[in-house]
Each structure stands twice: as C-alpha cells, then as structure tokens.
Amino acid sequence: MSTSIQVKISGLLARIQHFEQEYAREAGSVQLLAVSKTRSDKDIRQAFEAKQHQFGENYLQEALDKQAKLRTLPLIWHFIGPIQSNKTRLIAENFDWVHSLNRLKIAQRLSEQRPPELPNLKVLIQVNLDAEASKSGVSLASLPQLAITVAALPRLDLVGLMTIPAPTTNTDTQRQIFQQLRQARDNLQKAGLKQCTDLSMGMSADIEAAIAEGATWVRIGTDIFGPRG
C-alpha cells in the first residue's frame, strides 16, 4: 500500500511530465527536488520508497541529524537555505549540492573546506531578481563577476543559477521573472561558462511557469509532505 507521500510524488512527477510535453521540454529534463525541511526522517524514507533520491534542506543542524539517521540510503543532499560563514565547513563536508550561494567569501570557504576525497561540490548562484534589498541573492549586475570567479575555484563546480521570486499568482509575471534567470544563464554560457546549465526555479505555486521557462530543478515541499506545522 502506498502512503499519501508516495501518492503525492507520483502525482507531481506526472504533472512535471505533462508540462515538459506541453512546453516542448525534453523528457526528463526537469528534476524534482523534495524540500524536506522540518520533515522527519520517516517522511524522507517514505519519499525514498517512491524512488525520490534528491532532498533539499534549509537548516544545517536539522539536516545533519536526519542524514545520520538515513546514512544507509543512497540519498543526494542539496543545501538550499541561507549560509552563514561559520557553517560552511559542515555544508562542504555533508552536502552534494548548494543552491544558495550568494557571496564570494562563502564560495571561497566551501572551496577550501570541501574534502578532496569527495566529488566536487555542485553549486548554483542564487540571484535576486526582485531587487528587494531584504532578500537573499546577488543582483543581475554583479552576477557575471561572481560567476566567473566561482567557476575558477577548485573543488566547486558552478552548475547553474537559482532564484526565489516574490510570490505572485500572475502567471505572466512569474514567467517574466523566470525568463530573466534563463537569459542570465544563457549569457554566462556565451561568456564561456558552458557547464553553467541548471536553473533551480519553481515551487508549488509557480511550477508550470518555471518549467515553461526552462527550469531543470523544481523545489517542492508542501505539495509532497503537506503543510508545515
């Protein structure tokens, strides 16, 4: 018998597949990142039973506790929350991906602290497209310089860009924002950063707009695990 988490995952995968077809995206080009912040290791196990391997976490200590309990499973861990510089070592040692890179200092520390016996840490630069000073992420203006510098650091692979737009239900606005991230990615590729391919954009409320504009990762929590308590 499948649990509701497993039913939700298969429903989401079907939606993703449908949008891939509808917007002429290659089949399998959009991956589901299950955002498991505040969820138990048991919930993650349920998702794993539905063949979900990629999990996103925002809070370091909480993530480490769950990783310890789930060590026997072949899970891939993405750090997607704000990064304080005193947390970089544990992130470098315990994650496979970081989506929320937004400062050179953090990139340099992750690079120095990534254990050489592990594969390179895959990083995405978080871009702030709403020009709200309160929000995390680099501006479009300062992105190219940061991207070029990060791409040259050892033990990091700059694989793409991430954004968290201000919430809106207007699908045209959603698409305009995501289109800006795609164009920024295309510009970096033209400038020589060919490996910068991924776009981490789209959550429960704007998944369709994100896939239409080229998302390669959609980050979904509530639509898999239910509302956070």
Determine the interface stretch with ligand PLP among 67-75, 83-91, 176-184, 219-227 (rule: CB under 6 A).
219-227
User: How far, CA to CA in Å, does 92 sit from each of 67, 96, 146, 205, 229?
Assistant: 14, 8, 19, 31, 29
Contacts of ligand PLP in 72-111 (CB under 6 A): 80
Determine the interface stretch with ligand PLP among 63-71, 85-93, 189-197, 214-222 (rule: CB under 6 A).
214-222
Report the residue from 12, 30, 35, 125 that binds ligand PLP according to the rule CB under 6 A. Answer: 35
Interface with ligand PLP includes 37 (CB under 6 A)?
Answer: yes
Task: Phi first, then psi: give them for residue 25, nearest 5 degrees.
Answer: -90, 150
Report the residue from 176, 180, 197, 204 that binds ligand PLP according to the rule CB under 6 A. Answer: 204
Determine the interface stretch with ligand PLP among 17-25, 142-150, 172-180, 217-225 (rule: CB under 6 A).
217-225
Please give the Cα distance from 66 to 219 (Å, whole number).
19
For the CB of residue 140, give the shortest distance to ligand PLP in the complex, in Å. Answer: 19
Q: Which parts of the chain are beta strand (E)?
A: 31-35, 54-57, 76-79, 97-101, 121-126, 156-162, 198-200, 217-220
Task: Phi first, then psi: give them for residue 203, nearest 5 degrees.
Answer: -130, -165
**Sign of the CA dihedral with 187 first, then 188, 193, and 195 last:** negative
Between 35 and 106, CB nearer to ligand PLP = 35
Interface with ligand PLP includes 113 (CB under 6 A)?
Answer: no
Interface with ligand PLP includes 38 (CB under 6 A)?
Answer: no
Strand partners, 98: 79, 123
Report the residue from 78, 109, 114, 219 that binds ligand PLP according to the rule CB under 6 A. Answer: 219
Determine the interface stretch with ligand PLP among 20-28, 85-93, 114-122, 221-229 (rule: CB under 6 A).
221-229
Contact in structure between 195 and 3 (CB atoms under 8 Å): no
166: which DSSP letter? P
Interface with ligand PLP includes 222 (CB under 6 A)?
Answer: yes
Q: Angle at Cα 63 formed by Cα 59 and Cα 68, nearest 5°?
A: 160
Of 77, 184, 167, give the one whose Cα is nearest residue 130.
167
Interface with ligand PLP includes 129 (CB under 6 A)?
Answer: no
Between 58 and 173, CB nearer to ligand PLP = 58
Interface with ligand PLP includes 63 (CB under 6 A)?
Answer: no
Residues that bind ligand PLP (CB under 6 A): 35, 37, 58, 80, 164, 203-204, 219-223
